[in-house]
Amino acid sequence: MKFALILFFGVVVCGAEFDKDLVMKFIQKIKKVSDECTAETHASPEDIKALLEHKIPESHEGKCMVFCFHKHFHIQNEDGSLNKAETIASLDPIKEHNREVYDKVVKVLETCADTAATDSDHCIYATNLADCAIREGKSMGLDELLVVE
């Protein structure tokens, strides 16, 4: 099965633009986190398929899969709040390889941090952030980079 990750701001990896070692390390982490989050949330194959298609899953378990990824990548804290400072700090490898992509991703992060609807349900908030990132990323030409397979 393929594994995908929709990150709220898009930890972007594009083989043609980034160091192959960076790409391989990121893909290995994605696979590990995917296994852990699938087990934790009980997300269905339909939920995974939705993520692969750049869509927000309909089920609550699928939405919690997004939150699980956000926790693993320190985008959201355990309490569901946005961890903006650590998220930006985690983008340093991207900044080193492609400053233009980095700047766009930070802009998406800032926009979504300000505009995504908050929710007391951490899973719903996570998907609101992801939905915003998909929309904003596409508008900035990052749509090919928002999902890693």
SS (H, E, C) the chain: CCCCEECCCCCCCCCCCCCHHHHHHHHHHHHHHHHHHHHHHCCCHHHHHHHHCCCCCCCHHHHHHHHHHHHHCCCECCCCCECHHHHHHCCHHHHHHCHHHHHHHHHHHHHHHHHCCCCCCHHHHHHHHHHHHHHHHHHCCCHHHCEEC
CATH architecture of the region 5-148? Orthogonal Bundle (1.10)
Domain boundaries, the chain: 5-148
Q: Convert the pLDDT of each residue in 111-139 to its tens digit.
A: 999 999 999 999 999 999 988 988 888 88
Task: Name the percent of the chain lying above pLDDT 70.
Answer: 81
